[in-house]
Structures are given as C-alpha cells and as structure tokens.
Amino acid sequence: MSKEVKADFLAIQGLLKSKSKPVIEHTTLSRDRYNGCRSTSTGISSSNQDLFFQAKLERDSFNKSATLSFREQNLKRKPVKLEKMQNSQNNHSSPSPDFTAHSFLLQPKTVDPGDLYKINMRKSSIDQLIDLNPADEIIAKEEAKSEFLKNCQKFDKIKKLLSNQDLRYFEDFIAGLEASGKIFCECEWLNGKGRVEAVNTVSHLVALVLKAVSDLIEKKNKDKTMIETLKSENEVLASENNRMKDLQNKLEYTSSKLQKLESSRHEFSNSIGQTQRLAEIEKEKLVEKNSILEKYIGELKDVTKIDSLNSELEKYKENYQKMIKEYQAFKRDKESKLYRMQLEIGELRSSLQKNSSSIETYDTQKKVLEERAYVVELKNRSLMEKLSEYRERVAMLYEDCLRFVVYRDLYTKLEEQFNTMRLKYNQLELNIIAGNVTLATDGVIWVSLEDPLFDPVRGFLAKGVDPKVFEPPAPRKDKRTNTEVPVYAHTRHARTVTYSETQLDPSFVNLSKLKLQKPGYASLFEIGDKAASFELPFTNWLEITMRGIYDSKYNEHIFCSFESGRTPSKFPEFVYCWIGRFTIDPGARQVRELEWWKRESSDKLRLELLLALKHEKAKKVWEIHTFVEFLNEDLMLDELAFFLHCRFLLFKGPQLMITSGRFSALHFVALDHVFEIIDRVMEKISPKDRSELKSQLQSKARNKNGSLTLDAGLALRIMLEYYIREKKCKYLVIKGLFNLAPKKPDGGLAFQTFRIICLNLDPEASESLIVKMYRDLWAFGNGQINHDNFFVYANENGFFFHSLRLKGNEDPLPLTPYNEIDEKASDYAKRMRETFNTYAHLKQPTALIREALRSLGVIDLLDNFVKLEELVKNKYQEPLENYRGMNLLDTYKHLWNLAIQLQIIFEQVYSFSPAMQGSEEIKDLEIISLPRACEGFIEKLHKITLQKLTTIVAIRKIQRNWKDKARKSLSIAATVFKGIALLKRGLKHHKNQSSTHSQNST
C-alpha cells in the first residue's frame, strides 16, 4: 500500500473524529493513481474543511517520516518480491503482483503498528469507537487476532529452523509477513470480511513458507552428507592411486629381475649342453674301446687270457662306474658354483652401477671445478697484467704530478697572457670563417661534377632486357624417370634476367624525381629573420663532427645485418637524434655521450651544425658537399650504404681512429690505396676507362712526405658517382621489365609477374618482402603498379638497401688438390682451416639446432642459419658479396649468434617443460661459459682504452710544446707590436711638427 493511500486514510480518520458525517456522493476506483486499488471521494461538506486540513497536515508529516525510513531501509537491504495474492471478492482491490515488500508493508521494522494504532485513536474516545465500529467489525478483529496468534507460533518455529542456517532473505521475508499480519489486525481501513481474508492469506503464506523452509533445510543437510561422502571417497581414491603407483614400480622392478634371470638361465643351459656333449664324446670313446676289446676276446682262445681279460674288463667297468659318479658329482658342484657365481655377478653389477653413477657425478663436478679454476687462473693473469699496467700508470701520474706542481706556478703567470692571446685567436678564427684569411687547405683544387674526371665513371651504358625473361624456362629432365618436367615461371627456378644487344644511355634519368618529397633537416627548426652566428668550438669542428656521424652511421648499418632483417634509419633522422645525444670530445677528438645538462640545448647544437654547413666555404669541399646532399636526402639510403662501405675500405676502419682524420680539415690518403679500392669496387668499368681515371686522379694528387696522396672526399665522391650511374642503369632495367611484363585485362600486374621482377632484381629477396611490396604498391597506385611507383617504393622501404652486394677485402680461400683449405697460403687461411675443423667436430649439435629451427616455424631464422652453414660447408668458396662484405670469421660467429638466439627463444617458450629444467651444474656452466665467450672482446676493449689514454697523454705533451712555442712567439709579437706603436707615434709626431713649421713659415 503506497504512502499517498495511507495519508488519505488518515485524513478520513480525522473527519470521523469530528463526529460530523461527511457527505459522500459517489465513490470510484482510480486506476491511474494506484493500480485500481484506491477509492476517492468526490463530495465533502464545507463544514468539515478545518478538520480536513488538519488531517492533511498529519498526512504530510507521516509522509516525511515514512520516506526517511524507506530510504534508510533501502540502504540496508534489497527489496524482495512477494508471491502473487488472490484477489478478494469485495469492493476493495488487492495489491498488484508487482508490488515489493517495502511498498506493501510500509517498512515494518522502522514503523511500529502500535504507533499507527495510537495515531488512529488520537483525539477520539471509546464511545466514538463503539459508534463507528459495529459488532461485526469487532468480531472480525477478534477472529483475525486469534488467527494471527496461531501464525505467531509458526513464526517462532520458522525462526528456530532458521537460527543455525545462512538464510537471511527468509528471515527478512518472515519479518515482513509478521508485520503485515499485525497491520491487518490493527488497521482501521479494512472491513471485517476483508480483514479476516487478509489474515487468512498471511497464514496461508506462513504455512507455505514453513514447508519451503523445512524442505530447503532437509535438502541442505542431504547435500552436506553427500559432500562429506564425496570427500571421503576422494581420499580413498587418492590412496588407491598411490597404492597402484607403488604396485606398478614393484612390477617394473620384478620384470627387470626376471629379464636378468632369463639371461642367466640361458647361459646355464648353454653350459649344461656343452658338458652333455663332452659326456657323449667320452661315452663313444669307451664304446669304441669295448668293441676293440671284444674283437681281442674273439681272437683269444686261451682260457687264461680270457680270464685275465675278463678281470681287466671288470676293472674297466668299475672305473667307468666311478668316473660316472665323479662326473655327476662334478656336475652338481659345477651347477652350485655357477649359481653362486651368478649371484655374485648380480651383486657386482649393482655395486658397479652405484660406483659408475658416483664416478659420473665426480667427473661432472671435477669438470666444473676445473673450468672454474681455469677461469679464476685467467682472471688472475689478467688482474696481474692490469696491476702491472696500473703501477706503470701510477708512476707516470706521479711524474705528471711533480710536473704539475712546477707548471702550476707558471700557470698563474701565463694566465693573463693566454687570455689576451685567446681573444686575438678568436678574432683570427672569425676572419678565417668569413674568408678574409686564406689557409693552407684553401689551396685544394675544386673539381666540379662536370669535370672530365667523372667521365670514365659515367661512361658505361645500360643494356636492354631480353623479352624472353617472362617466358617459362626450358623443361628439366628427371633422372629417375628420364622424362621432362616443366619449370613454371612462378617458381624459384624461373628464368633470370638476360640482356639484349641494345644499349641504353642512363644519362637522361633524373633520380631526384623518383623519391617522395619530405621535410628537410632545415625545416625542423624555427629560424627567425635575424642573422644567426656562432663560434666554432675548435678549428675543424665541422669536419670532425661529420666524420663522427659517418662512423656511427656505419655502425648502425653493421647492426642491421642481413640475418636481422632490419632497415637503418634515414640520414636526416639519424643526424637529428645523434646531435641530441652524442658529441665530439675536443681533446681526444672522439665520439662521446653528451652531458645530461647540455641535452636541453640540443636544438642549439643542431642549428649550429646547419649554420656551419651553409657557409660559403662548405661548397668548395667535397666531403662537406656530399654530407649536405645526404642530409637533404638528395642521395638515398642505398647510396649512403655504398658510400659508407667504400669509406670503410678506404680508411680500414673508423676515420676518427686515424690521427690525420682527427686533426686535419682535409684528410689525404695514399694514391696507391685509392687505386686498389677502385679496382675492387668498380669492376664493371673497363680496364681502359679505369686506367684513364687513375691517370686523371694522379694529376689531381699531392706530394706529401715523398708519396702521392689524394683528398679522401674526392675519391669517395668518384666511387659514389659510379654507384649513382649503376642505379640509373637499374632504373632502365626495371622500366624494361615492366614494359615487357604481361598485363591483366584491366591493365594491372599479376602477383606472379611482379614476383619474377623482384627475384630478377634480388634473387635473395624473401617471400614476405615481395608480398608486402605488392600489397603496398597496389594500395599506393589504386590497383595499378608501374615502374616509377616501384622505384620510389624500393627507395623508401629499403629494397635497394637489402639488395646491395658489397664486396669486402677478403677473397675466397685457396684450396689444395684434395679440396681442403690450404693452410700454408697465409695465417688467415690457417685460422679458417682451424675454424672449419671445429665445425666438422660439431656436426651433430648443428644438426640438432637446425631441427629445432625447423620446429619453430620462423622462416627468416631458418634461412639465415642455413645460408651461413652452407658457406662454412662449402669452405668459404661462395661469393662474399651475398654477405655484405663481412669477414669470413665473422660469418662463423654470426652462425653461433643465431644458435644463442634460438636458445633464448626455446628457454622462454618452453620454460615450463621438464626437459628444459637442467641440473644446477649445467646452469652454472651456462652462466660461466657465456661471459667467457666475450673475454677476448673485453680484453680488446681494454687495449683500445689503453691506446686512447696513451694518445691523450701524447696530445697533452704536444699541446705543452706548442704552448711553449706560442709563449715565445707571443713575446716576439708583443715586441713587434710595441715597435710598430712607437713607429706610428713617431710618424704622427713628425707630421705634427712639419705642419706647425709650415704654418709658421706662412
């Protein structure tokens, strides 16, 4: 029953208390207000208006209290749906079945029915109640109270049942029914028959709840017993399983014993058969003797001889019987001894197994301890060597400290002179940058790209493509069936590109149009209208910074080796990130990490590099000019890779490891070495053009210390122009392949045709790369793929970079007539022979690694491992261009590097497998062996660090000598400047005197 209905009943009760009868003209049921169960009055007399308003105020106060109690109960528990109730056959309608307990019972736990009864009886008397309540109504109330008292006994019974059970929702429901019964007994808004029926309905619900609670508790007790029986049965089942395992172990032990007894029984039966065969042989011998004796008896006719022979015969028989008895006793003794020996053999075998297991554990521990002792011994040696080195360094530092004490006094005297000298030096450097002063390096002859020096490089032409490249190749013969098997064009055995007699000139190809237009390095900065200027940290800062960036970029390219499949970053991005993290040490002229407090101003350092490159002098130096083209991406990633490879061959390592590369603005290299690199790199140029190129380079060379040298920037630019020409020829080949390729009806290119084009350009291209290129180009060209789009995309995604075949310094190893590596040819060949012998002893482990790679399902890992293994198997006779000019010994290291990667993957993926859980000794051995593989490298790093320290010490000594010379020259310059100043003063004084004399004479 809702709050509004109850408020209306309170208003009507107030009218009854005033002893004035309200005039009710018509009563209807309003379904819109309360589901058809609220009666409204349409006519109330005007004389009772005051009492009606007083009842309305009481209704409003009750509404507030009921609302507050309803919100508090809502926070404590959720509403519980009641069962559907039967509608009574009277004028009052029952609540709808959708009512909740809170809306029907008006919160019985917060509003007491006695309070409601007091509210009903306020301002009234017993006489009024008698007048308003007839006898039928009182009888109905008594009957409802008696029925409610019966229900109270059931409520107590249900509460006792629920006292030990976790059924809170039933307790709430019983409390609601009890409160409902009280309200139905005491309320004044129900007539007699409706009150009795409501209480009967509550009693019926109480009976149903009692039955449901008793059934539910009984079912719960049954479930508890079932759970306990299941637990006991599970325990019995677990004990039976353990017993079965014990019986199975005993059965296996007895079966092994039976097998051993079977083998011993077989050996015993063999020995018995052998003794039986010996007895039969003895028996046959005796039978033969008896036959001989019988013959002698027949011949003898003399009685005496017969008697003597009979006596001898009896003796022989007796001896024979004795021998049989002795043989049987011997046989029994032999069997008993054999059984004892078998028992002793079994005991010895068991003891031998125990001893062998203990010996194996001892051997493993011994090996581990020997290896640890060896590692400790090596570390001890290295520590002793380091200790001796450190002692020498301490002695040197002690000498330096003594010198420092002497120089400290001189420093205070020379500090003021040095400050003045530095100001003049900075002014001189600014004049050099502005071009007002010419240096010795400015005498270098600038060679433009239009010079005839570059003509031999641009001389070779591109050949046209043979139209038969897309035809299926000739069928091959099957040796087993002697039949021809066709080879389809979409297989790896497709026909490779062949060239026709026609030749094409690539001079008209403009590679600058065949790339994507991107923001340059200069667009990454906000440059104002004011002219920016800066001061160089030292004289050749720009050149040394460029060389450090080149060295670092080459290291990144080495890191992106062919087995990794990575593509290096673009050059502008690399330079931008490099300057923000690294710098050049002004003392050692080596790459080092930038200090963390200077990284906030990294944009300023990047801008300083840009300003130095924009200087007018940079346009006349090939090294700076080429760097600017790479920075502006006029030259792409594959051209940069070719340039860095030629640079590595020319300097035989990082350029900053060479003294002249660190301290000179222009780096000159020996002309003979440049010719060697040209012969190795420019193989496609004819010998005549190469000799012409060498003669022109010789004319540009300089004589230094009795030998001809050439600017390294010019030499590298010539090699770069050679690759640019080759790339233009590649463009013409791609264009020819696309023109000859068969097209689909819609003008598009089929994937198999595209695949043939890619494999002809790079036979080592992976299937995933080809599929990715086809899909991306199809999306890039909206379903159409042409040669220009292909060339642009190959520039951007690194296809040309990965297809480079760079030739290194190493040649294939010489072989003996017996197809073995000739170790007498050189020390390097001897080293590689030892490497091959090491691999030959490890064929089984490499086979296991290969099978594990096949089980992984990773194509790149398997292909790279097989490729490196084939090189070792073929004794390094393959062309090394396929390995990007790597050292042959490095390929062997790369092979085992892949094995270590496989080990890491396996231990990570199969970490929960019992087979991967090794013993503690093996784990300790892995921890020790992995650092041991890097001991040689760590020792080399120590040597490099020591070499750097010695160079720094030598540089400091040279700087001290130059400071002494500068001090002397400074004193000389000071005297010269003083003499000039005095001369100027004397001339000025002479001019003044002459002018005054002329004035006086006039």
Q: Judge whether residue 299 has pLDDT over 50.
A: yes
Which value, in Å, is the radius of gyration of the alpha carbons in the chain? Answer: 56
- Whether the CB-CB separation of 493 and 721 falls below 8 Å is answered with no
Question: Which of 804, 814, 798, 799 lies closest to 888, judged by CA?
Answer: 814
Tell me, what's the pLDDT at 37?
Answer: 37
Tell me, what's the pLDDT at 775?
Answer: 92
Position 280 in a domain: no
Same domain, residue pair 662 and 575: yes
Domain ends where: 223, 252, 279?
A: 223
Q: Judge whether residue 732 has pLDDT over 80.
A: yes
Q: Which of the residue ranges 312-321, 519-528, 561-570 has the most confident prediction, judged by mean pLDDT?
A: 312-321
Confidence of residue 741 (pLDDT cuts 50, 70, 90): confident
Q: Judge whether residue 531 has pLDDT over 70.
A: no
Q: Tens digits of per-residue pLDDT, 784-839?
A: 888 889 999 998 888 888 888 887 777 777 777 777 777 777 777 777 777 777 77
Same domain, residue pair 448 and 427: no
Q: Judge whether residue 81 has pLDDT over 50.
A: no
Domain ends where: 174, 200, 223?
A: 223
Same domain, residue pair 76 and 136: yes
Number of neighbouring beta carbons within 10 Å of residue 48: 17
Our CA dihedral for 880, 882, 883, 885, rounded to 10 degrees, sits at: 50
- Whether the CB-CB separation of 871 and 880 falls below 8 Å is answered with no
Stretch among 216-220, 759-763, 960-964 having the lowest mean pLDDT: 960-964
Same domain, residue pair 686 and 566: yes
Distance separating alpha carbons of residues 100 and 96, to the nearest angstrom: 10
Position 358 in a domain: yes
Question: Which of 118, 117, 129 lies closest to 19, judged by CA?
Answer: 129
Domain ends where: 875, 908, 933?
A: 933
Confidence of residue 18 (pLDDT cuts 50, 70, 90): very low
Mean pLDDT of 837-844: 77
Tell me, what's the pLDDT at 165?
Answer: 60
Burial class of 719 by CB neighbour count within 10 A (0 to 12, 13 to 18, 19+): buried
Mean pLDDT of 80-88: 37
Q: Tens digits of per-residue pLDDT, 125-167?
A: 444 444 555 556 666 667 777 777 777 767 777 776 666 665 5
Confidence of residue 208 (pLDDT cuts 50, 70, 90): confident
Same domain, residue pair 22 and 156: yes
pTM: 0.51
Distance separating alpha carbons of residues 277 and 115, to the nearest angstrom: 123
Confidence of residue 500 (pLDDT cuts 50, 70, 90): low
- Angle between helix 192-299 and helix 168-186 axes, rounded to 10 deg: 160
Q: Judge whether residue 49 has pLDDT over 80.
A: no
Per cent of the chain over pLDDT 70 is 61
Position 165 in a domain: yes
Position 809 in a domain: no
Distance separating alpha carbons of residues 853 and 859, to the nearest angstrom: 9
Mean pLDDT of 606-621: 80
Same domain, residue pair 314 and 415: yes
Per cent of the chain over pLDDT 90 is 7
Q: Judge whether residue 29 has pLDDT over 50.
A: no
Name the residue with higher pLDDT: 103 or 837: 837
Stretch among 80-89, 209-218, 542-551, 686-695 having the lowest mean pLDDT: 80-89
Confidence of residue 960 (pLDDT cuts 50, 70, 90): confident
Distance separating alpha carbons of residues 777 and 790, to the nearest angstrom: 7
Distance separating alpha carbons of residues 69 and 119, to the nearest angstrom: 17
Same domain, residue pair 85 and 180: yes
Tell me, what's the pLDDT at 686?
Answer: 82
Position 751 in a domain: no
What is residue 82's DSSP assignment?
Answer: P
Which residue matches tokens 């700087």? 959
Mean pLDDT of 640-658: 91
User: Across the chain, what does the average pLDDT equal?
Assistant: 72
Position 219 in a domain: yes
Q: Tens digits of per-residue pLDDT, 597-608?
A: 888 888 888 888
Tell me, what's the pLDDT at 348?
Answer: 84
Same domain, residue pair 591 and 688: yes
Position 266 in a domain: no
- Angle between helix 843-856 and helix 859-873 axes, rounded to 10 deg: 160
Same domain, residue pair 596 and 615: yes
- Whether the CB-CB separation of 723 and 645 falls below 8 Å is answered with no
Confidence of residue 573 (pLDDT cuts 50, 70, 90): very high
Position 633 in a domain: yes
Q: Judge whether residue 443 has pLDDT over 50.
A: no
Distance separating alpha carbons of residues 394 and 400, to the nearest angstrom: 10
Distance separating alpha carbons of residues 776 and 799, to the nearest angstrom: 13
Same domain, residue pair 405 and 456: no
Number of domain units in the chain: 4
What is residue 821's DSSP assignment?
Answer: B
Confidence of residue 103 (pLDDT cuts 50, 70, 90): very low
Tell me, what's the pLDDT at 19?
Answer: 38
- Domain that residue 907 falls in: 827-933
Phi-psi region of 706 (alpha: psi -120 to 50; beta: other; left: phi over 0): left
Name the residue with higher pLDDT: 966 or 66: 966
Confidence of residue 461 (pLDDT cuts 50, 70, 90): low
Mean pLDDT of 598-619: 81
Same domain, residue pair 414 and 452: no
Which residue matches tokens 């069962």? 83
Q: Which of the residue ranges 121-125, 255-259, 319-323 has the most confident prediction, judged by mean pLDDT?
A: 319-323
3-class DSSP assignment, residue 624: helix
Amino acid present at 149: L
Q: Judge whether residue 9 has pLDDT over 70.
A: no
Stretch among 161-165, 222-226, 418-422, 653-657 having the lowest mean pLDDT: 161-165
Same domain, residue pair 161 and 212: yes
